[in-house]
Each structure stands twice: as C-alpha cells, then as structure tokens.
Chain A
Amino acid sequence: MKLEFPIFQIINEEGQLTDEKYKERMTEDLVKKFYYNMVRIRTFDRKAISLQRQGRLGTYAPFEGQEASQVGSALALEKDDWVFPTYRDHGATLTFGANMARTYLYWNGRVEGCVPEEGKKIFPPAVPIATQLPHAAGAAMAEQRKGTKNAAIAYFGDGATSEGDFHEGLNFASVFQAPVIFFNQNNGFAISVPIEKQMNSKTVAQKAIAYDMPSIRVDGNDVFAVYFQTREGLDRARNGGGPTLIEAITWRYGAHTTADDPTKYRNQSDSDKIREAQDPLLRVECYMKRNNLWDEEWVAKMIGEVTSEIEQAIKEMEAFPKPNVNDLFDYVFEKPVWPITKQKEQYFQLNGRED
C-alpha cells in the first residue's frame, strides 16, 4: 500500500524543488506567507509552553513540528469555509484567522476561547477524538443545500482513525458527496501509542479506498505539498467532486501535552534527529536561500512583528475580565429552565453576588 500511496512532495529536506509542476505558482509572496505563518505559530506554541511552565496557562497541547501541515492546509481555505479543529490545531485556526488572545484564553480554562471572531466559521476544538468529522460532513451537507461553493475541513490525528466517528464521518461525506477535506496529521503517535499499534494498515490514506474517496499521502513537513494538495481537494469539493482524505505525514517534537513525559514511550534523541532532518521551517528557509528569497532584514522585521503580536495577545489574555459566575448558568439553554435557575439562586445566596 505504501507503494500505491507514495508520499507527495514539492520540496525535499534540503529545500530543493522535486516537482517542477508547481514552480510558477510558488511566488515570492506565497513563500513568504508560508514562512511568516509558520514562524508565527511556532512562536505562539513555544510561548504557550513557557506560560504553562510559569503557571500562567493550564495544560497545553503543543504542535511544534506540525507547522507545515497546519499552515499549508489553512492557507488553502477560502474565508467562507468551515474549520473543525482539534485541540492541537491552533496553528491552523490562527492561520485561518482565529483571535490569538482568545486562543490563549482557551488554554487558560476560559470558554471565551471557543467563541470565534464574527464571520469566521471555526468550530471549537474537538476534545473527544474524531467526533468533529461527522460535524464537518453535516456542515458541508448544509452548504450543499444552500447552494454555495463553501467547503469544510476537519483536522484529526492518526489515533482518530481508530474511532467509529472517523468512519461514520467519511462514509456520510462519501455517500452524500459533501464538500469536505478530511485532513489527517499523522504524527506517528497517539499520546504514547505508536502508529504500528494503532493500525495494521500501512497508510491512513488507503482507508479512503473503502469509501471510494480520493486520497493522498503528502509530506506533512513540506508546506508547498500540503498547500497545493489541499487546494486541489478543495477545488474538487467545490465543484461537486465530493470529499478527499489527505494524510499529512509529520512529527510532533514535544509531548502530547504539557502534562505528559514523552521520554517514557519514545527516544527523544531520535525525535531530535527527525527534527534536524525534516523541520518544516528550516526547509522553507533553505528553499528561500537557494532561490535568493532570503532577506535577513525582512526576516528580522517579521520576527519582531510576530513577537510583539504575541506579547500583545498575552497581555490581552491576562487583562481579560475575570470569569463571570453567571456564565456558569446562563448558556445552557436559550431560556433558563427552573432547575438551573434554582441552583443559580442557591449559589448566589451562599456566595453573594460579585456584580
């Protein structure tokens, strides 16, 4: 099966073009946009871990190493498309336009972090694994009924492919030819369980055969490969060609979450070797240098902008008004029901009102 699903790549580990077909579309603007967004989300991610260590954020799920998969796929979307992420896809949602301060807020235990910017169709991160796949199929079926060209993308990891909802989501999208991209980031591990113990299948992509659905394996550390293949799937979806499964092969450098120690289940020095060989940012840097697009001044300025944006977002997150206890009770139903009203009153009788 690995032979039937070769890994699609546009630039290799040294930043060399391996597929000339896309050369013309790889404009300087696009390359810089990729690099900027990957630097931005990596900085966001590292900052989140550091904030967690300082006790300024709760448990956090880092994505460092997966930037090409997240940026490439998110930049392929149009503004009216739907995004159904997991808790490890903030790189994708930030690239798509999620508010950064609110993204940090989510990891600070604040529900406000799930409220998207007006007009941005971003669903809150799915925590129960694979449950978002049928949602993406449903949102896409709704777009079909509205007669739009909008599509949906669902993000999920390799572990998610073992869940029933993975198959139910793919099957629905396939039966109804819904405009969905099922974007799998195969990072080799579901917390501690390696892919070999997750599935006997040699690839994730082959699972699409069962649904008669186009699928492809891409080098998930090659932002160009991810971007152009996601675009292709989206174009097909918008034109009635139904869903696509993309398996982006990538690697998570760090822990599953800040509450986990990866040295218990994998050799982190091997992980470091993968990082040295495959890093998605380094690869674009090499490509830029080879093609005389690397401009130290632009890079320095860009890094400065990213740093100050992130500092600003953290300030905003920390200055956010403290949580309102009314919110504990007021959003369960549109109109309150008596048991909740009674419990709310009892709470305030005991604790007093703050406002």
Chain B
Amino acid sequence: MNLIKSLKKFNYEKYGPLIALAVLFIISAITSPYFLKTRNLLNILRQVSYTGIIGLGMTFVIIGGGIDLSVGSMTALIGGLTILVLNSAGGGVGAIVLAILVAVLIGAAVGAANGIVITKARVAPFIVTLGTMAIFRSLTLYISGAGEFRSTSNIYPELGMGSFLEIPIPVWIFGILAFVSWLILNHTRYGRYICAVGSNEKVADYSAINVNRVKFISYIIVGIATAITAVLLSSRLNSISSSNAGVNYEMDAIAAVIIGGTAMSGGSGTIIGTVIGAIILGIVNNMLNMLGVSPYLQGTVKGLVIIGAVLIQRKKK
C-alpha cells in the first residue's frame, strides 16, 4: 500500500525522462553484449552531440513559445561558409580559430534574422523558420553549385575526430554547453524571463519584461548552438555536402526537447531533460542498428518514441 502511495506521489514530470533512459539502458544492455562497451557508449554520445547541441538552444526557443525549423539547413549553410573561410585563410590553426569565430557570428546573425521577422513583423515562428529553412538550403546549394564544400586543411578534422581524456571532443563541448545552458536557464534573469514569456506574454509584458527582446535572443541562442554543431560536423567530415548535411537535424533537435519533457506550448522545461532526450534517441538508433533492423524502419521507431513520450507525459497530469 505504501509503495503504491509513494509511487502516486512520485514526481513523474521531473524524473520521467530519466526513468525512460534507465529502462532503455537496461534493456539494451541485456539484449546486446556489445552495447555496454565503452567504445559503443562513447560512439552514441558523439553521435547525439550534434543535434543535442542544437537541442540545447532549441530548448530556450520552445520554452519561449516558439520553434525553429531552419536549424538543419542552417547547419549546412554555416558549415559550408566555415569551410570557405578556413580554406581562404590557409587552413592552419589561426585559420581554424578565425573560421570558428566567423561561424558563430554567422549563426548569431541568421538567428537574429529569424528573430527579427518573428518579433518585429509578427509572423508566426513556424512560418518564418519554414521559409528560412528553404532559403538557407537553397543558398547552400547555390554557393556550392550543388556540390560539396571540401576543406583543404589537414588538421581541421582533429577537432571533430579527436578526443581529450579518451572522450570525443564533440561530447566535451556538448557537456560544457549543457552546463552553460543549465546555468542560463535556471540561474539567470534571462532564464526566468524566457519561462515567463512562454507562460503568459501579457504577464511578462506588465512585469517590465521586454518580451520581444527575450524571444529575439532565444533565436540568437539557437543560431549560435547551430553554428557550433556546424563547425563540429564540418571538421569531422572535413567537408560539407550541400544537399545532405544537417538534413532532419531540426526534427532530432525538437524531438530531444520534447522527449525531455519540455512542453510544445512553452512556459517551462529543463536542459537536463533535453540532454536525456537526445541520448534516448541515440540509444534507440544504436540498438536498431545492432539488432539489424532495416535503416528504412528506424524512422518509424523514432516517430513512435516521440509520440509515446508526449503521451506518457500527458498522462501524468
């Protein structure tokens, strides 16, 4: 009886994603002996880092009541431009630093462009970013002549391929950015304001919060996060395919946020949830591969996981 009572009182909202991850982890460990190998686990983490980093930025946008569908195309565009800068600057260490800086600036700028249209022209975020999704992809194809951006640097790949203390560099960056995002969301004014704006814009407005600026900044945040992913992705491959890079990244990033318990309607959410959401998606992919499920069916499973996660979260309330 007591157990049932304490189960009822249990805060599913807070720990739901974590429990799902634990269950998935245990099932995977039992089904496949290879799953628990350090190499495999690190591989999963590295794979989820790219969309996970975008997911961190996306968490702010969604909490604020918005959405950004353009991040996938944005990844390709910024990745391509980064390689162009890198090549023209010579491909050395200095060139890499310069390329990264330019990438982050471009990310902030295109995020700001999304944000300006959404807040100033008052067009729905879904529409604006659906439009820029097409624009960014088309620009990428145009610049590259629908081909590939190839880096001429031979040290650039070390960023995306390399490891530090046995852990891949993208995973480090994902971890550090997750910490910074957590800090911003839970311990700064901005974090509180984005929650207020997403909960009730009018209350925020009357509480002396500049609603438009808060929303605008959230699109810059996701732009910067996307830029970092673009750098990591382009350095891992030492190239960017104008037609394939970043395809469906927006889906994976949004899915990570939603599986992590952030409501699509905005108002509240957690960074740790998004991290867990990204990892859940990664493990699912990994297991499907190891179990030999057709890659064409993997999307079906991913879709079911997303819908299932939202259903479970709704039930708790």
User: Is B truly associated with A?
Assistant: no
Interface residues of B (CB under 8 A from A): none
